Chain A
Amino acid sequence: MSRVSVPCHVKGTVALQVGDVRTSHGRPGVLVIDVTFPSVAPFELQEITFKNYYTAFLSIRVRQHTSMHTPAKWVTCLRDHCLMPNPHSEEGAQDYVSLFKHQMLCDMARVLELRLILRQPSPLWLSFTVEELQIYQQGPKSPSMTFPKWLSHPVPCEQPVPLLEGLPDPSRVSSEVQQMWALTEMIRASHTSARIGRFDVDGCYDLNLLSYT
């Protein structure tokens, strides 16, 4: 399924905390990231991908465009999706994650804005966030190029040119050539990942020192 990246503007994270941030000793366990799409019309969301960094639970709220004059409301489309099965340990802490349309609680037809709510209840981690956030919408279903008219509307069959003496039948030749071409395409596509096994370069294995890069 093709997908097209939607340019988005990710606002800075806002920590939600009870009390004054400066005086309280604990670290915030909830962060909010707003994602807006300033230059794009309301679109249908297909996929969200990101790289996790020690976020344990993710909720997503979405504001959609409504056709009537009612103001757009925030709706929760993903609730407490677990990214780290054990918030105190490293499992899942730096994984790449994809969230799809079918995992959402509501339909994502005309997305205006997204709000990601990150939760990390464990006090062991100094910070947490999500990185490399990418939003995708549905790509075009069929290739957008147009066929030249003569391909999609072939001309009616005309009289075949009379065969010249001694030459093979053109339609048979063309079908054989087609088969050979298909065979070479198959062989080209099925390249193996087997290694050859040589470790030297043209028989020479005289080395300098080991390289550090």
Chain B
Amino acid sequence: MSQEESDISLIIAQIVQKLKGSNLYAQLERQAWASLQRPEIKLESLKEDIKEFFKISGWEKKLQNAVYSELSVFPLPSHPAAPPEHLKEPLVYMRKAQGSWEKRILKSLNSMCTELSIPLARKRPVGEQKELLNKWNEMGTDEPDLSLFRPVYAPKDFLEVLINLRNPNYENGDSLSFRTHLGLIQVPLKVKDIPELKECFIELGLNTGQLGIDDSTQVPPELFENEHVRIGQKVLAEQDSAAAQQYVRQGSPTALRAELWALILNISSQPEDILYYEQLKTNVIQHDLLVDSLIYKDVKLTASNDDYYFVFEDYLYQVLLCFSRDTSVLSHFAYNSASPPKSYIRGKLGLEEYAVFYPPNGVIPFHGFSMYVAPLCFLYHEPSKLYQIFREMYVRFFFRLHSISSHPSGIVSLCLLFETLLQTYLPQLFYHLREIGAQPLRISFKWMVRAFSGYLATDQLLLLWDRILGYNSLEILAVLAAAVFAFRAVNLMEVTSLAAAEAVLADLSTLKVMPLLQIFLFATVT
């Protein structure tokens, strides 16, 4: 067997192994058994007839979607000699940096725990459980005293860690030379330049219709919009994930967006999924976690103060509290450079049988975490579906925005991509901002960490997230950040301090995302 063939069979074996434990496998089995009753299934050609039946009834398409989903999310099987840490993150110094950052977070959480004398987790007394169940749909009306709680960390703390990231094998000399990075990020990761980005984001080109540009009121809908909506309806009728992913690269019509995103993320609301969500809700009611207070505080500080999202406050609690109890999220740590925090049952320190993860999903929320969920509330109103969509978006994309890794969509690469784009295509602006002590990354970091949620108007944000799903990559966030700087370049050239630069870029709510991206990538003279 050639090397390629053995690689493919390894991938196939891995995917089959993963799908065997899933719901879809049980359903396919049941369907196959039920189909034996059908007249067209003959015993002599059983295998072929059942395959044909699957094709006609749409089950083959569901299987295709599941395989496509596995391929998009999980990295390819690595070299047999590579240890599991290598799959999480191949570069040793980044693993170490992530480890020490995690240790800092744990120390911070532990000290909060001991200072406030609040346990990490406790079982709720029955009376409290009943109370919480009664006000499950209106947890926002609760006003617990959260003044003593503080967020475990904020994006700017994380930025400091990234600024200090150094490769020990890299020439980090003091004298300025061709090898010095003029921005804040000092690690030499490979990032795309504009010709490569043009190739990658080819569907955003000037000759291709876009929602966000070609559906504005001045453009007659017959030119692009009507046809695009018609194609979208066809894609939904076919229920094909790969086609949907290709389709949303040009934007998704508002009416079809919820279904299209669910199709791309391969989410279908089965009774088992609703049951699973109810189980998580029971877990929330039974156990009270310290992390819950952090979530409350975060929602109160961010989403509740936002003009667009404050109406969804109750939904946010319902999603985020259940998210913390969901152990299925632990499987994403196989390809995430981060690791879930561990703890032991009281009194059983060091005994492996009593080791547990805390919180159960291994993710400690930081300041602004609830903003990942808030925009989704516009699309999904049923809590279990909203929950599934958020969870899938988190384990595919959002986790990369707050862990240290060398992945092209990781936050380190995004920061370097932003700085490189700005330096290469707006050198005067970059130099000026650097001279006045306003390194551009200090302003744009918070936009990228939140995937622009809370900074853009919601319809623009959803158009941006369409492209994230369509291209299965977060690089568009760095490109948009550079495009925003390019747009406000004239004003920025006149400022003389970091505070003034922040003021120029404080309000992004009037920006139109797609024209900015198109101009920056395809219409800027270099």
- Residues in chain A within 8 A of chain B (CB atoms): 49, 51, 53-54, 85-86, 88-91, 93-98, 100, 102, 123-128, 132, 134, 190, 192-195, 197-201, 204-213
A-B contact count (CB 8 A): 139
**Once the chains are docked, how many angstroms separate the CA of A127 from the CA of B168?**
10
Contact of B17 among A49, A125, A193, A206 (CB under 8 A): A193
Contacts of B110 in A (CB 8 A): 209-210
Could you tell me the dominant secondary structure of chain B's interface residues?
A: mixed
Which of B225-233, B323-331, B445-453, B455-463 participates in binding chain A? Answer: B323-331
- Contact call A93/B91, Cβ cutoff below 8 A: yes
Tell me whether A124 and B179 are in contact in the complex, defined as CB-CB below 8 angstroms, given that A195-B331, A209-B114 are known contacts: yes
Contact of B406 among A90, A132, A190, A200 (CB under 8 A): A90
- Contact call A90/B190, Cβ cutoff below 8 A: yes
Closest chain B residue, CB of each to CB of A49:
B81
- Contact call A207/B190, Cβ cutoff below 8 A: no
Tell me whether A210 and B287 are in contact in the complex, defined as CB-CB below 8 angstroms, given that A124-B170, A126-B169, A197-B328 are known contacts: no
Contact of A125 among B119, B169, B355 (CB under 8 A): B169
Contacts of A209 in B (CB 8 A): 110, 113-114, 120, 343
Count of B residues near A, CB < 8 Å? Answer: 62
- Contact call B123/A206, Cβ cutoff below 8 A: yes
Selected A-B contacts with CB under 8 Å, 11 pairs: A49-B79, A53-B169, A90-B190, A94-B90, A97-B79, A205-B121, A207-B343, A207-B346, A207-B358, A208-B347, A210-B343
Contacts of B349 in A (CB 8 A): 208, 211
- B94 smallest CB distance to A (angstroms): 9
**Once the chains are docked, how many angstroms separate the CA of A143 from the CA of B210?**
62
**Once the chains are docked, how many angstroms separate the CA of A99 from the CA of B186?**
33
Task: State whether the Cβ of B381 lies closer than 8 Å to any Cβ in chain A.
Answer: no
- Contact call B3/A201, Cβ cutoff below 8 A: no
Contacts of A127 in B (CB 8 A): 169
- Contact call B123/A205, Cβ cutoff below 8 A: yes
**Once the chains are docked, how many angstroms separate the CA of A134 from the CA of B79?**
14
- B196 smallest CB distance to A (angstroms): 12
**Once the chains are docked, how many angstroms separate the CA of A97 from the CA of B90?**
12
**Additional A-B contact list (13), CB under 8 Å, known A209-B114, A210-B341:** A85-B190, A86-B190, A88-B188, A94-B91, A98-B81, A102-B3, A195-B327, A195-B330, A199-B357, A199-B360, A207-B344, A207-B345, A212-B107
Task: State whether the Cβ of B64 lies closer than 8 Å to any Cβ in chain A.
Answer: no
Task: State whether the Cβ of B82 lies closer than 8 Å to any Cβ in chain A.
Answer: yes
Contact of B346 among A49, A86, A195, A206 (CB under 8 A): A206
**Once the chains are docked, how many angstroms separate the CA of A51 from the CA of B78?**
13
- Contact call B356/A205, Cβ cutoff below 8 A: yes
- Contact call B344/A211, Cβ cutoff below 8 A: yes
Contacts of B103 in A (CB 8 A): 212
B262-307 at interface with A (beta carbon < 8 Å): 276, 279, 283, 287
B160-211 at interface with A (beta carbon < 8 Å): 167-171, 179, 187-190
Contacts of B17 in A (CB 8 A): 192-193
Which of B18-26, B140-148, B308-316, B479-487 participates in binding chain A? Answer: B18-26
B 1-26 to A, binary, CB cutoff 8 A, 1 in contact else 0: 01100000000000001101110000
Contacts of A86 in B (CB 8 A): 190
- Contact call A210/B354, Cβ cutoff below 8 A: no
Q: What are the 8 A-B residue pairs with the smallest beta carbon separation, nearest first? A: A192-B21, A194-B21, A199-B360, A96-B79, A89-B190, A96-B82, A207-B120, A206-B346
**Once the chains are docked, how many angstroms separate the CA of A51 from the CA of B287?**
46
- Contact call A208/B346, Cβ cutoff below 8 A: yes
- A86 smallest CB distance to B (angstroms): 5
Task: State whether the Cβ of B86 lies closer than 8 Å to any Cβ in chain A.
Answer: yes
**Once the chains are docked, how many angstroms separate the CA of A201 from the CA of B341?**
16
**Once the chains are docked, how many angstroms separate the CA of A85 from the CA of B345?**
48
**Once the chains are docked, how many angstroms separate the CA of A161 from the CA of B347?**
66
- Contact call B346/A98, Cβ cutoff below 8 A: no
**Once the chains are docked, how many angstroms separate the CA of A101 from the CA of B154?**
52
Task: State whether the Cβ of B342 lies closer than 8 Å to any Cβ in chain A.
Answer: yes
**Once the chains are docked, how many angstroms separate the CA of A145 from the CA of B321?**
59
Contacts of B279 in A (CB 8 A): 197
Tell me whether A204 and B343 are in contact in the complex, defined as CB-CB below 8 angstroms, given that A192-B21, A195-B327 are known contacts: no
Closest chain A residue, CB of each to CB of B190:
A89
- Contact call B18/A125, Cβ cutoff below 8 A: no
- A88 smallest CB distance to B (angstroms): 6
